Amino acid sequence: MTSQSKTTARQAVFAAYKRCGWPKTGVHILRHSAASRMLNAGVPMKQIADILRHRSIDTSMIYTKVDLQRLAAVAMPWPGGAA
């Protein structure tokens, strides 16, 4: 992607944020969202890395987030109750 293409893409994202009334944040939030959604949909990490154009799965793992609601549904209660 050329520098001009990156600038154009960034400007389009910021314009969309403005239309939604969202604060102007970095465009990487879209990469994080896409990676997390793909992981939640069962897409293998290798495929997510390929889509994000990462050479390493470890790099792609930075973009995925833990779904706390799903985790809470399977978590065992803390022994002795909440601290």
pLDDT confidence of residue 23: 78
Query: Count of domains in the chain?
Result: 1
| Exposure b/e, 40-50, CB count within 10 A at least 16 = b | eeeeebeebbe
Q: What is the pLDDT of residues 10-62, one digit of tens each?
A: 888 888 888 888 777 777 778 888 888 898 899 999 999 999 889 988 888 88
Higher local confidence (pLDDT), 67 or 48: 48
**Do the domain assignments include residue 58?**
yes
Distance CA 5, CA 74 (A): 44
Give 28's contacts (C-beta < 8 A, 6+ positions apart). Answer: none
**Do the domain assignments include residue 39?**
yes
Give 78's contacts (C-beta < 8 A, 6+ positions apart). Answer: none
Higher local confidence (pLDDT), 79 or 17: 17
- In which domain, by residue range, is 28 found? 23-66
pLDDT confidence of residue 41: 92
